[in-house]
Structure 1
Amino acid sequence: MSVTTTAHINSRGQAREMLHFYAQAFRGEVTIATYTDIHAVEDPGQADQVAWGQVVASNGFRVMAYDVQPSKPFDAGENAYYLALRGDDATEIRRMWDGLADGATVLTSLGPAPFAPLYGMLTDRFGVTWIVDVTPPQH
C-alpha cells in the first residue's frame, strides 16, 4: 500500500486561476467541481467558484485547491505554509521552477546549495511560497 500527501491550497475566488496556472507549470490535468456542481451554493456570486479542484501530472505532481465559502472566515496569512517540490531530475525541476517563476518573487535563486545539487525558494503570484530542490544522491 502507498500513501501520498497532497497540498491543499485555500483561496478566496482564485482557485480556478491557481489550478490552471499550476497545470501549465507542471504539465498536469485540471479537474474542477464548482459549488453549483455539488449543489452547495451559499451566495449567487459563489456559484461558479471552485468547491473542489486538483491538478494531477503524470510525473506524480498533485495539488488541490478550493475557494473558501463566504460563510467561513479566510485570511491567506503570511508564511502560513510552504510547499516543497523535490525531484531527482535537474532538467525537470528547472522546467517546473521556470513555470512557477512566472510572476513570482524569487527569494533564493535556483542553484547549487551545500545540501542539494539545486535549491531555490520563491513566492508565486498567488502568495504561495515554494521550496524547490533536486534531492541529493543517496550514498
Structure 2
Amino acid sequence: MTSRLNPYLSFSGNAKQALEFYQQALGGTLDLNTYGGSGAEAPPGYADKIMHGMLETPSGFTLMAADNPPGTELTPGNGFAVSLSGDDAGELRGYWDKLTDGSTVSVPLEKQMWGDVFGMCTDRFGITWMVNITERS
C-alpha cells in the first residue's frame, strides 16, 4: 500500500450517523468497528460507539472517523476542513448537492476570482467542507 493523506474526524457519539451520511453523499465502502467489538471491555456507555470507522470511495477518497473516547474534549470543526477538488464538475457538484443537505453554506458553489468554481459549507455534524472544481482553460 502506498502512503496516503486523509482526514480523521472525531465525533461526540454520532460517528456512525456521520459516516453513513458521508457514505450516502460520496458512495463507497464503509467499515465500522465499535468499542464493544474490539475484544476488550468497552467503557460504560461505549459498546455501540465507533472506535474506528473508514470510508473508502470509488473516487479514491478515504475518510476515517471515531467517537471521542471518554474523558476527552471535542470541539467539532475547529480549524479543520475537508477539501474535495478536481476537474470532474459533475461528480463534484453531486457531492456538493448531497453534503449541503442540512448544512450551512458559507460560500455558494460558484466561479471565484482565481477562475475555479468553489464552495464551502459546514455540514449538520459541524464539519467544514470545501469543494473546488478546476476550470479547464
Q: Paired residue for 2:38?
A: 38
Q: Paired residue for 1:9?
A: 9
Structure 1 residue matching 2:116: 3-state secondary structure? strand
Q: Paired residue for 2:75?
A: 76
Which stretches of structure 1, 4 residues or more, deviate above 4 A after TM superposition?
none
Alpha-carbon distance change, 101 to 54 in structure 1, aligned in 2, over 3 angstroms: same
Cα distance in structure 2, aligned partners of 1:96 and 1:8: 19
Cα distance in structure 1, aligned partners of 2:45 and 2:60: 34
Cα distance in structure 1, aligned partners of 2:40 and 2:69: 9
Q: Between the two proteins, what is the percent identity of the paired residues?
A: 36
Alpha-carbon distance change, 8 to 104 in structure 1, aligned in 2, over 3 angstroms: same
TM-score, normalization by structure 2: 0.91
Structure 2 residue matching 1:24: 3-state secondary structure? helix
* CA-CA distance at 1:116 after TM superposition: 4.0
Higher deviation after alignment, 25-34 or 79-88:
79-88
For the 8 Å contact 2:50–2:66, the answer to whether it is kept is: yes
Amino acid of the residue matched to residue 94 of structure 1?
A: R
- Point out where structure 2 has 5 or more consecutive residues left out of the alignment: none
For the 8 Å contact 2:25–2:99, the answer to whether it is kept is: yes
Alpha-carbon distance change, 111 to 55 in structure 1, aligned in 2, over 3 angstroms: same
* CA-CA distance at 1:84 after TM superposition: 1.0
For the 8 Å contact 1:32–1:54, the answer to whether it is kept is: yes
Structure 2 residue matching 1:92: 3-state secondary structure? helix
Alpha-carbon distance change, 41 to 18 in structure 1, aligned in 2, over 3 angstroms: farther
Q: Deviations over 1:52-93 (max 9, x none)?
A: 10111111121000011113x222255321111112100101
Q: Deviations over 1:23-62 (max 9, x none)?
A: 0000121100101111344433100100010111111121
Cα distance in structure 1, aligned partners of 2:65 and 2:115: 29
Structure 1 residue matching 2:38: 3-state secondary structure? coil
Alpha-carbon distance change, 124 to 116 in structure 1, aligned in 2, over 3 angstroms: farther
- Point out where structure 1 has 5 or more consecutive residues left out of the alignment: none
Cα distance in structure 1, aligned partners of 2:41 and 2:67: 12
Cα distance in structure 1, aligned partners of 2:111 and 2:121: 15
